[in-house]
Amino acid sequence: MRELLVKSTGVVRKIDELGRIVLPSELRRVFGIHEGDELEISVDGEHIILNKRLDVCLFCSSDKDLVSYKDRRVCSDCASALGTATPREVRLDESVTTST
């Protein structure tokens, strides 16, 4: 028997007249869900499950020219932007790395 790891957040939300609920901002922050992001809705028995779409770019939610990296998708635009931005911003001063 498969056990679903259900953990209550203790948050109760009312559904409005259009069937909408608001995801608490704390949850959105923890799960990295931003305005405009798409969530896939699944069901498991009595449970309704929301999953972040993983087949869109992690950064800009584009679904064009995606490449996979560690089970996440990144579009070619963001990938090339990262490729040029990362070495310059992340590299430590050499005196910092050699003095320790």
User: Which residue of 31, 33, 52, 62 would you call a contact of Zn ion, by CB under 5 A?
Assistant: 62
| Span from 36-44, 48-56, 59-67, 82-90 in contact with Zn ion (CB under 5 A) | 59-67
| Span from 19-27, 36-44, 68-76, 89-97 in contact with Zn ion (CB under 5 A) | 68-76
CA distances from 68 to 3, 37, 80 (A): 29, 19, 13
Helical H segments across 5-55, by residue range:
25-31
Residue number, 49 or 60, with CB nearest to Zn ion: 60
CA gap 41, 58 in Å, rounded: 18
Q: Is 78 in the site for Zn ion (CB under 5 A)?
A: yes
For Zn ion (CB under 5 A), the number of binding residues is 6
Chain position carrying tokens 């070495």 = 87
Nearest to 71 by CA among 58, 84, 81: 58
Question: What is the contact surface with Zn ion in residues (CB under 5 A)?
Answer: 57, 59-60, 62, 75, 78
